[in-house]
Structure 1
Amino acid sequence: MKFQKTLTILILIIVVLAVFAAIIGIFSEGGPGEFEMTSVRGEIVLIYGEGIYKHMSSEVAIQGIAQDWVTLLVAVPLLLLSLSLSRRGSVKARFMLSGTLLYFLLTYLFYLVMAMYNQLFLVYIILLAASFFSFVLSILSYDWNLGKSNFRNQLSVKLIGGFLIFNAILMGGMWLSLIIPSLLNGKYPEALDHYTTLPVQGLDLALFLPLSFLSGLFVIQKKPIGYIGSAIYLVFLSLIMIALLSKILFMIFVNGADGIPAIIIIPVINLVTIILAVYTIKNVKEENR
């Protein structure tokens, strides 16, 4: 694989710093505990008040801790496993590696632009930089003109592409249902809390959901970029959905939030995503490495 040495160094940096950041996020203590504050918009916001996330709203801080657990227990081991196997020449592992790197890229992009400034700020910068450049190097290693030949003919492109398009429309509709009413009635969305904007929704709508839609569309059209893009995106989406499910569970059991209907819908979508990711990776032909 091209850029193997540089990619390995960058990934090891990600592993060390991601483990460090996740442990700090999960176990750090200190602070006044939960308290209320009035935002610049005149709204009462419950602040978490403990550890590294003490200045974040309670709801978002809990979600950050949930994602730290997923990063520590799922994403980091998968990153190391896929790196090890890809260094041995596994084509399947290369797709897993790219998808996992995209997870780290999105995760620390959100941490950098959404988490309130804290002592891990430089760590988030390095993690985002290492994730971005390692992801770029990983996708540059593919022969994009031979995308289709990497997969067995029995791969159902309509199934995969249809799901990715459905995912983009479903998530996009959910975010727009939050944003559009607030724009029409001149009020701020409840999810805004004391933050300046909606980075998760904005970046999803601008970058990651169009990527899902286009990957799905291109694989249905049997374009080489669609085969590679959809395989990478399904691995990435599987990790993101695991993180989303963990956030919902933490909000229910820690914050006492009402998880209906998300606690029913998200596990189903998560399971379908993982099944399709496994199905797609299994249909990668190792002999084309």
Structure 2
Amino acid sequence: MAEETKQTCYEGSSVQSFQFYLQHSGEHEAILKCAHDILPGEFQRIAAGKSSLGVLGVGSGGGEVDAQLLTLLQSTIPNVLITTDIVEGSAALSDNFKALVAKTASLQKVQFVWHVMGSEAYEKQVKANGDKERFDFIHMIQMIYYVENLSNTIKFYQSLLKSNGKLMIIVEAAGGGWDTLWKTYKKELCVHAITEYRSSGEVIACLKSLGLKYEEHVIPNSFDITECFTPSSGTGQRLLNFMTAQDNFHQSFTPEIRAGMLDLLRNKCSTIKDGRVLFNSSLSCILIHA
């Protein structure tokens, strides 16, 4: 697929599908709980002796998590000036983020620079300009699936860290429900925006091969997919559409593939509790050192 037509972010109907998923999955809440547990100490270490702090968000979506991270950063180091660059390929989600900033009083004190482009386009732009801006804290939350070359991407963004800086990658956990589903049905699922599914296993293998120092924190999470097994359920259909990156799950696969996926979702990707099917959607937070 030509580079200019490869989808590297949420656009059009996939924006609504993603937002529907977020409402049902509790994913952002799980990520933010982890952030509140581990980041204040990290922020204090990163900011030691500094009067200003540069943050880079890559694949920041509608900014719901970024806004909370910036608020946490402000409350942890209140006397430090914060500047933030945002790299996000979806114009619709970038507009959502700007609207969120406009109505969040604490974020009025943060200076934003917007780059409405994919992470690899940003990398090319930085290299073409020949003058790398460096950052104290870079985060890439749930976006590493969309890059073409994992090793090059990590190496590039890690190279943008100032001394004592941290690069935070949040990705689906190795061996979790997403990892199991997408690797079992790689041929059927890795055909659109995501052509190679990656979990924390691939990211950590890459960090080891690059010789980078890191630490990993597990983010436990699960959500109810019981409705996915009722064909007439609109909620179930919309969840299945998102989970398989399709506009219409039931029309996209043969009856055999559909049945196999549903069996896998129930028996290998989930646990049953009180008659409900709870999908294992645990994540991994990986902090990479400068």
For normalisation by structure 1, the TM-score amounts to: 0.32
Higher relative contact order (CA 8 A, sep 6+): 1
For normalisation by structure 2, the TM-score amounts to: 0.32
* Higher percent of residues as strand: 2
